[in-house]
Amino acid sequence: MVVDAPLSLPRGRATIDDRSGPHLRACDRELQRLGIPFFPLTLGPMRMLTVRGMTLARRLERHGLAVVEGYPGASQDLLGLPRKKAGTSVLQARLRDQGFAGPLHTRELTHDELDAVTIAWTGRLFLRGKGMLIGDPEEGLMLLPRSRARPERGRPLED
């Protein structure tokens, strides 16, 4: 299961409230290397999201589910899709162009729902051997799609 939230703390940081510890994880440094913008999990609202994500992951793991962190913005960048800041209707249309069915065709989705579609697609790509885990397994991994060229409009990406 892919969760759209940070699921681990940087190595050397005891708690999310530990302000003296490191701010970046290995997967965050890899995002930087790839030129993908992100907010560090120690920054303001990201702290609450991190706590919620870590709590959710523990609960899911107790039920025997494998859980990995995802980041829709990075997936959108690597898949050649616009991010939601370009407009949710633009992102929705591009996801529709990829052949996805359901509510993408029947109603306007929220940015959170479009992120959920993106992150689910990333998980599906990984299961088909077209994803990658970045980071340090001892610290926490992040699931991303393998980078690919920007698709032509109306031409679905392989999945």
Q: What is the mean pLDDT of residues 71-77?
A: 96
Kindly report the number of other CB atoms within 10 A of residue 145's CB atom.
24
The pLDDT, as a whole number, for residue 87 is: 87
The pLDDT, as a whole number, for residue 150 is: 39
C-alpha 115/C-alpha 78 separation (Å) is 14
The pLDDT, as a whole number, for residue 149 is: 38
The pLDDT, as a whole number, for residue 157 is: 42
The pLDDT, as a whole number, for residue 152 is: 38
The pLDDT, as a whole number, for residue 148 is: 60
Reported as a pLDDT band with limits 50, 70 and 90, residue 151 is: very low
Q: Say whether pLDDT at 138 is over 50.
A: yes
The pLDDT, as a whole number, for residue 99 is: 86
C-alpha 79/C-alpha 96 separation (Å) is 14
The pLDDT, as a whole number, for residue 153 is: 37
Reported as a pLDDT band with limits 50, 70 and 90, residue 101 is: confident
User: String of b and e for 50-77 (b: at least 16 CB within 10 Å)?
Assistant: bbebbeebeeeeeeeeebbbbbbbbbbb
Q: Say whether pLDDT at 100 is over 90.
A: no
Q: Are 157 and 149 in contact (CB under 8 A)?
A: no
Kindly report the number of other CB atoms within 10 A of residue 91's CB atom.
23
Residues facing 135 on adjacent strands = 141
Of the ranges 72-76, 83-87, 116-120, 133-137, which one carries the lowest mean pLDDT score? 83-87
Tens digits of per-residue pLDDT, 13-30?
889 988 888 899 999 999
